[in-house]
Chains A and B, each alone.
Chain A
Amino acid sequence: MTDNAMVIIGAGETGARAAAELRDRGWTGAITLIGEESHAPYERPPLSKQVLQEAGEPSPAYIVTAEKLKELRIDFIHSSRAASIDRSKHLVAMEDGRQFHYERLLLATGARPRTLQLPDSDNGFIRPPNIRYLRSYADALALRSRMKPGQRVAIIGGGFIGLEAAASARYRGCAVTVVEAGPRILMRGVPEAIARVIEARHRAEGVSFKLNASIQAIESSESESIITFSDGETLGFDVILAGIGAVPDTVLASGCGLTIENGIAVDERLNTSDPDIFAAGDCCSFPHPLYGGTRIRLEAWRNAQEQGTHAAGSMLGSTEAYSAVPWFWSDQYDLTLQVTGLPHTARTTVHRSLGATGDLYFHLTDDYRLAAASAIGRNGIAKDIRLAEMLIASRAALDPVQLAAPDIKLKSLLTV
């Protein structure tokens, strides 16, 4: 047991950034970083892209290597799970019996893939066998080993993980079918115009879509899995990947009585209902000052990184509110998509052509402030999305005519 220790549970993007930031900000006491996986902290975005596609043997993209953690005197406890938290004694109890005393604790437990459940004959639910998920490096390796040329791959869920995996499976020469319950892909978070571009691109690359799909049963034998749909169609597959969303990992937090509200509820400093416990990244919901204090939860790489950094400051006593504009990206084939802000909070959308680079959409509130912007095209869309992010943060009222005019530079609107 160590006194004056900062303990972080979860060694993903958020936990790793928080640990490094604590040192950066001059914390000289002990830092313990606890992770379930055996690897040093690594980046998850490549798991659905580079790791699946790479011709040679892939390796994790480390955020910090084990050597660097040692150099920073961060005690990295890998391959271990925390079992419970004793708030009155300030102790984290591990499944293997070890205990860690904390002065301040950060929960960076992330989210887990939502598991596919199908109705059974007794009005209950069953979890069909042989369904793969994609969250960890081990998941990606297992999926990769099955993505051989000619293999039939079903992707259940037309969200970002599923679509990126679909593009990677095509890249590896698999026959790919995307199964989506909704009338179109990417129902959450992107305007229909962008979803249409992405769907058309996948179709052009040879991906089949089954939209408005309702799965009745999945039967698995040694040679294949057969999906039976409510419309009577049956399709056989060699691999089934489910990408149907994620569930925040709140088990430890609820086990010790912290407030849960679509994730571990934190305030604008990322402090939970216990003054010595903080939460950040995919596992927490937080009030966003740019959106009237609405409580939101984000599953995004940049948020994970920035909240990890922010939480480190709060653990050391900073009272600063977390107010970063949400930002998200996805790559499929050579198409890139970026979204900043919260599109669902907007009322109207204005289109700006970026020529050969792509298309940009501004999502405006009733009073013509920018709530969000989204773009599809080549990597060059990043410039305008970054400027849109600054326009969102500025909360200035904007002229839709100027926003739509490609010859008016967004940079010029920032200074007004």
Chain B
Amino acid sequence: MTYEGWIAACDAEDIDEEDVIRFDYEDRTFAIYRSDKSEYYATDGYCTHEKFHLSDGLVMGKHIECPKHNGRFDYTTGEAKRAPVCNALQTYPVKNEAGQIWIKIS
């Protein structure tokens, strides 16, 4: 099954609850999140402060913390929540179809 503009990213079970994984597509990198309520979200993969993969960071509730400088974002909205980050993170629509996670990146 394919959807216009949607990319099959991973299986729903590839991500632990309250965790994040990295997903690379062509020359871009994304972070895909599973909340503690098993809702799925996606954002750009790099922190907006310096180029570090957010997927190496810790997910607590609806926040992702950058592994390097502890900048924090709300991954459900992309909002920057804690210094040193001040620029919001791009978010992308996600859907879970029968255990397959899709993200819309265009």
Interface of B with A (CB < 8 Å)? Answer: 18, 50, 52-53, 56-58, 65, 67-70, 83-84
- Give Cα A305 to B53, complex, Å: 22
Report the Cα distance A329→B70, complex, angstroms. 11
- Contacting B at CB under 8 A, from A354-413, are 378-383, 386-387, 411
In angstroms, Cα B56 to Cα A312, docked, is 31
Q: Which residues of A contact B83 (CB under 8 A)?
A: 17, 305, 309
B68 x A382 contact (CB < 8 A): yes
**Which secondary structure characterizes the binding site on chain B?**
loop
- With A305-B83, A305-B84, A411-B18 known as contacts, the answer to whether A379 contacts B70 (CB < 8 A) is no
Please give the residue numbers on chain A whose beta carbons come within 8 Å of chain B beta carbons, in ascending order: 17, 43, 61, 63, 301-302, 305, 309, 327, 329, 378-383, 386-387, 411
CB pair B67 A380 closer than 8 Å: yes
Residue of A nearest to B55 (CB): A380
Interface SS, A side: helix
- A61 vs B52: C-alpha distance in the bound complex, in angstroms? 15
Name the residue of chain A whose CB is nearest to the CB of B22: A380
Residue from A63, A301, A386 having most chain B Cβ neighbours under 10 A: A386
Q: From residue A45, how far is it (CB to closest CB) to chain B in Å?
A: 8
Contact A386 B56 (CB under 8 A): no
- Across the A-B interface, give the 7 residue pairs with the lowest CB-CB distance, nearest first: A382-B67, A379-B56, A386-B58, A380-B56, A383-B58, A379-B67, A382-B56
Residues of A within 8 A of B70 (CB): 302, 327, 386
Query: Which residue from chain B places its CB closest to the CB of A387 in the assembled complex?
Result: B58
CB-CB < 8 A to B84: which residues of A? Answer: 43, 63, 305
Inter-subunit contact B53/A382 (CB<8 Å) = no
**13 extra A-B contacts, CB within 8 A, seeds A383-B56, A383-B58, A411-B18:** A43-B84, A61-B50, A309-B83, A327-B70, A329-B68, A379-B56, A382-B56, A382-B57, A382-B58, A382-B67, A386-B58, A386-B65, A386-B70
